[in-house]
Amino acid sequence: MMNNNPNKLDPQQIVAEFKDIPPMPNVMVKALSVIKNPATGIAELAKLMQVDQAISTKTLSLVNSAFYGFRQQITSINKALVVLGMMKAKNIIMSLALKQMMTAQGSRELWEHSIKCAVAAEILAKEYKVINPDDAFVIGFLHDIGKMLLNSKNPLKYSKVRYLATQGNVKLIDVEDAQFGTNHCVLGALISKKWQLPVILTNCIRYHHEPLQSSLPTVCGIVYCADRMVQQNIPTPLLDPKIMNKMEFTINDPVAVRETILTKAGIFLKEMSSPN
């Protein structure tokens, strides 16, 4: 296909221009390693979490919050892991491990939006049974991670991009392409590949704004819907009928679903943001 944008970079140029792709945070690497090895189990993950006071404190705070609604007070990481399961614990670790990176190289707004989108994707996946809800959480959380590279490369220019995208009917990725020669979807997929994350995750990050271009349109559509539903300013339309007509699920009242999601996401975000 011919490139109609003379400023748009080819893949080799993108890697060269954005060569400083950050490594995955060490605690996240260790958590994934533990989870991949069934022999290590909950005890090893608990030990890893207990070393990091912020992670252990916030995990206990979240597991005892209205987000999960457990009746019994849970006072130990080991018990928290038993009731949560290792995958949900891993998602909490990821949310906290990437907080510093996302806020430093992107913005606090990026981290907060990522949390909301993760919760939204998990809720939608659970409702419509398109993808495992725990996997949907990860995809939702990481969908905008490419914005870190654009912001860290030129914060002033990217601030201008975000401003322009809010003015009139213009897509963020179009403004990014015009200003940087690439966009956060392409760069997010590069980060996902560098971190050796699953192909399905890389695919959804790449096409979350354009799910019909994905080889997994319905799975990608869950992230598309989650992203749209947690926007601070409600998009018009909230969900594009041209996209939704091609999905294998139907959201009958997206505005009502949005309110439910924002309430639930607000609880998760509050617990993750609270001081230790």
pLDDT, one tens digit per residue, over 33-79 is 888 777 778 888 888 888 888 889 999 999 999 999 888 899 999 99
Burial (CB count within 10 angstroms: exposed 0-12, middle 13-18, buried 19+), residue 69: exposed
Domains assigned to the chain: 12-21+101-273 (1.10.3210.10)
pLDDT in tens, 143-153: 999 999 999 88
Give the per-residue pLDDT at 61: 93
Per-residue pLDDT averaged across 220-247, rounded? 94
Give the per-residue pLDDT at 1: 37
Asked whether the CA dihedral 175, 113, 55, 33 is positive or negative, the reply is: negative
Residue, of 232 and 257, whose pLDDT is higher: 257
| CA proximity to 262, closest of 101, 119, 98, 97 | 119
In this predicted structure, the answer to whether residue 26 has a pLDDT above a threshold of 80 is yes
In this predicted structure, the answer to whether residue 11 has a pLDDT above a threshold of 60 is no
Give the per-residue pLDDT at 208: 97
pTM of the entire predicted model? 0.91
pLDDT in tens, 152-173: 889 999 999 999 988 867 889 9
Q: Give the separation between CA 247 and CA 114, rounded to whole angstroms.
A: 23
Of 34-48, 100-114, 119-133, 247-261, the poorest mean pLDDT is in 34-48
Give the per-residue pLDDT at 2: 42
Q: Long-range pairs for 121-128 at CB < 8 Å and ≥24 separation?
A: 121/222, 121/223, 121/226, 123/260, 123/261, 123/264, 124/222, 124/225, 124/226, 124/251, 124/257, 124/261, 125/222, 128/222, 128/249
Q: Give the separation between CA 26 and CA 61, rounded to whole angstroms.
A: 23
Burial (CB count within 10 angstroms: exposed 0-12, middle 13-18, buried 19+), residue 145: buried
Residue 131, SS3?
A: coil
Give the per-residue pLDDT at 3: 47
Of 56-60, 79-83, 102-106, 140-144, the poorest mean pLDDT is in 102-106
Q: Are 186 and 146 in contact (CB under 8 A)?
A: yes
Give the pLDDT band of residue 7 (cuts 50, 70, 90): low
Residue-averaged pLDDT of the chain:
89
